Structures are given as C-alpha cells and as structure tokens.
Amino acid sequence: MKITRIRGFSDLLPGETETWQFVEQVAREVFARYNFSEIRIPILEKTELFSRSLGETTDIVEKEMYTFADQDAKGSMLTLRPEGTAGVVRAYIEAGLAQVEPMQKFYYLGPMFRRERPQKGRFRQFYQIGAEVLGRKDPVADAELLLLLNDFFSTLGLHDLSLELNSLGCSECRPRYRSELLSFLQQTEDKLCENCRRRMERNPLRVLDCKEPSCSQVTKNAPCIIDYLCQACQDHFAEVKRLLEETKVAYIINPKMVRGLDYYGRTTFEWTTNRLGSQNAVAAGGRYDGLVKDLGGPAVAGVGFALGMERLVLLLGVEEESRFNRPGLYLAWMGKAAGDWAFPVAHALRQRGVVVEMEGEEKSLKSQMRRADKLKAQYVFIVGEDELNKGKGILRHMGSKEQVEVDLKGVETELAGKLPTSKTNL
C-alpha cells in the first residue's frame, strides 16, 4: 500500500528549501538591525492559552485548532499552536522577563497548525516568521515594526506590496463604537451569514472581518471605527502615520480591517498583494496592550506581527525559478589513484566553506561533465593519471568555458581563494 502525505501538509524538497533558507537568512539579518532576539517556543501548548488569548468566538478557536486530550493529565486539553504570539507572551510571563527587563524584542520562525481548507498558499501545517515587542506602548514601537517589515520586503526584492492601516481604539472608546455597530447590524441581521448572526451579539466587530459577499455588502455602510476614537487613540494613530510619512513608507487607511483575533487594539495592519488572488495578506499584526495581563502577567503593552512563508515564497517565484544549491566545485576524477587523491582534497575544501560535489564510483569524464552541468556547478576541477604525473590539474569555469592549469601541490589553498563559499552561494 502506498502511503501519501496528509492533506494540507506539504513536503519541502531540495530546490525549494534553498529559497526558504534564503528568506530566513534575510529575516535574521534584518531583525538583527532592529536588535531583536530569537525565541523558540513549543509547538504544543495548553488549549486554554489560545482560547483565552484569541477569543472563544474566533474561527480559529471555534473550528480550526488541532486539539486533543492530554493522556498524562486527566481533563487537560492540548493544542498544536495555531499562531505564535500567545506562546511568546506565555514564555515571557513564565520566565519572569518582565521583572528582569520589561522591554523585550523577540522574533520566531516555525510551523503553525490550523484545520483550514487547503488552497494555494494556505496549508494546515504552515510556516510563519513573527516578531513581538513587549513593554512598549509608544507609537514609535508600532512604526519601527512597520519599517522593519518594509526593509525586509525591500531586501527580498518585493516592492509591490501595499500597507493597510487601521486603529481599533481602546477600552475607553471601543465600547461606544461596538454599541453603534451592533445597532447597525441588528437592522440588517437577515442579510448576514449564519456565522455572523450567531456571534454578532458577542463580538460585532468580527462581522467586519467576514469574507462572505452578503456580509461585505452589508458592512459597506457600517459606522467607521476611526470616527469613534478617543483623543489618546487619535494621537497614537496620528503619530504612527506621521512617522511612516517621515520615513517615506506609503500606506492606505482601511477602516474595515479589524483582524481576526480578539486581543488586538489600537494600531492594526496588513501588508497585501494583488498577485495571489483572494489570499492577499502576506503579513499582518497590530497592538495588543491587554494580552499580557489577560494571560496572568503584569500590565505590559505589546505589538507584533506574523508573515506567512508559503505566500512569501510564492511571491518570490519559487515555482518558476528554484534556488538550487549549486556546487562551487565539481571534482572530476578518472582512475583509482586520482580518486584517492581527490577524496581528502574535497574534504579540505569543504572545511574551508566550499560546496564540493564528487562521485564515489569511477565514471567517464564525459559523464561527469554532464552531471556537473546538470548540478549547475560553477567550476569543475579535472584530475586523472596524466594530471597526477604532471602535478597540475585543470580548472574549468562552466560559464565561460575557460580552462587554466593549477598546481596540485597546495591546491586546496589555491582553489579556496577562487571559489565561492557556502555562505555566498545563495
């Protein structure tokens, strides 16, 4: 019987993984410029962490989480993490970091799990890169995160993404807006989808996030939350916009963007593209000033984002142009003596950071050259009985076809100076 992968889960094969490594490498470099530190959290958490942080009425908690009973703790339920923020906040609280230094800047990379309908750029096991800033409530922190994302996308060569901004207000001003929105929705309740009618009373803002055409039509004329912001929220939002304008980062105000999670307040944002159809969000996030306290920690502010790796890789064109791991050198040998000579030389070059490929069995030079070409090797070094007798091998550039003789004595030093290392191979 043939065993296949689970629906909604995918393999990352050679040719794809190099692109993912490239994206992760750029992310680490950009995060370092903004003084972020990496945090690694478990993929499995207690279910209540997500039900308390994300909200009982969210689609994630209601129908998308992978949840099961903990056999080691009767009555306890466990969940594969559907997002990263809650786990980061839990770790921050549990480790007592707020007592050591309340202001912390984290980033993370790894898989998340949601039982969604698989489609292009959307899987049940998917990968995210995210960042969280804890202990800062100032608008500069919001703007810096957006600048970080802008730098990240620019470094990747993605210049056609759009930044959408909104403010969801705070505990002072949002209740009045919620009341006005609920009153509006009650008048058009018969036109809403079943999900929105069911959760409207508990969280009317969720209706604004619904993608059903009937609900989108109804909310076109809904009250705008920006019109209900208190002075403090107005000032915060105005400063975020001013800082973006000062650094020449373009944005669009989208008053209907509320995000899908309950913990957001004040600044919310999405980076979108028109190149992926309906799944147009590439990165999203916002401010969550009450989440740390809600999860049992101190009253510490927070702001963060997450971006989807699958969609990012699609934008980079992995399907059209894979980033294969090109060997810097293909070492072609003919004859047992040449093979015995080549093996330790390949090892010495690899220790110096050069990506080297060579055969384990003797093959014709023609066959080896074909394989070197297929692997897109940048150089081929040829050594056989004649080369061993002369003490000189042949270095061939596969692009220009130019060949030069290189002394076999001290060849590792000579070649290492000419060839790219694995750090520059991407």
Task: Work out the average pLDDT over 363-375.
Answer: 94
Task: Work out the average pLDDT over 270-283.
Answer: 83
Structural domain includes residue 29:
yes
pLDDT of amino acid 318: 46
Beta bridge partners of 356: 329
Residue at a domain's end among 265, 280, 315:
315
Weakest-pLDDT range from 212-221, 322-331, 377-386? 322-331
Short-list 221, 235, 220, 219, CA closest to 173: 235
Q: What is the pLDDT of residues 395-414, one digit of tens each?
A: 999 999 999 999 999 899 88
Q: 256 and 362 share a domain?
A: no
Q: Which residue has the higher pLDDT, 206 or 285?
A: 285
Structural domain includes residue 118:
yes
SS3 (DSSP) at 132: strand
Task: Work out the average pLDDT over 365-391.
Answer: 94
Structural domain includes residue 425:
no
Beta bridge partners of 252: 164
Structural domain includes residue 196:
no
Q: How many domains does the chain have?
A: 2
**DSSP letter, residue 63:** I
Task: Work out the average pLDDT over 216-227.
Answer: 87
Q: 251 and 118 share a domain?
A: yes
Contacts of 289 (CB under 8 A, 6+ apart): 137, 170, 265, 266, 301, 302
Q: 169 and 28 share a domain?
A: yes
Q: 276 and 391 share a domain?
A: no
Weakest-pLDDT range from 131-140, 211-220, 280-289, 367-376? 211-220
Residue at a domain's end among 261, 284, 315:
315
Task: Work out the average pLDDT over 49-53.
Answer: 84
Q: What is the rounded CA–CA span in Å between residue 318 and residue 263? A: 34
Give residue 117's domain range.
Answer: 17-173+229-315
Whether 177 shows a pLDDT value over 60: the answer reads: yes
Q: 38 and 64 share a domain?
A: yes
pLDDT of amino acid 345: 93
Say which CATH number the domain at 285 has. 3.30.930.10
pLDDT of amino acid 190: 83
Residue at a domain's end among 286, 315, 344:
315
Contacts of 341 (CB under 8 A, 6+ apart): 333, 383, 388, 408
Q: For residue 401, which amino acid is it?
A: K
Q: Which residue has the higher pLDDT, 119 or 330?
A: 330
Q: What is the pLDDT of residues 4-30, one digit of tens each?
A: 998 889 999 888 888 899 999 999 999
Q: 346 and 278 share a domain?
A: no
Q: 108 and 71 share a domain?
A: yes
Q: Which residue has the higher pLDDT, 276 or 22?
A: 22
Structural domain includes residue 140:
yes
At 191, the pLDDT band (50, 70, 90 cuts) reads: confident
Say which CATH number the domain at 348 has. 3.40.50.800
Q: 351 and 384 share a domain?
A: yes
Structural domain includes residue 244:
yes
Q: What is the rounded CA–CA span in Å between residue 202 and residue 179? A: 11
Whether 324 shows a pLDDT value over 90: the answer reads: no
Q: 157 and 294 share a domain?
A: yes
Structural domain includes residue 303:
yes
> How much is the mean pLDDT over the chain?
88
Weakest-pLDDT range from 62-76, 102-116, 358-372, 406-420? 62-76
Q: What is the rounded CA–CA span in Å between residue 380 and residue 357? A: 10
Strands 125-134 and 104-113: antiparallel
pLDDT of amino acid 260: 57
Task: Work out the average pLDDT over 298-327.
Answer: 79
Structural domain includes residue 186:
no
Q: What is the pLDDT of residues 193-220, one digit of tens each?
A: 888 888 787 788 878 877 788 888 888 8
Q: 338 and 301 share a domain?
A: no
Q: What is the rounded CA–CA span in Å between residue 66 and residue 73? A: 18
pTM over 0.85: no
Q: Which residue has the higher pLDDT, 233 or 207?
A: 233
pLDDT of amino acid 425: 42
Q: 250 and 345 share a domain?
A: no
Task: Work out the average pLDDT over 109-127.
Answer: 85
Whether 284 shows a pLDDT value over 90: the answer reads: yes
Q: What percent of the chain has pLDDT over 90?
A: 57
Q: What is the pLDDT of residues 133-176, one digit of tens each?
A: 999 999 999 999 999 999 999 999 898 899 999 999 998 998 89
Short-list 213, 240, 274, 265, CA closest to 140: 240
Q: 296 and 392 share a domain?
A: no
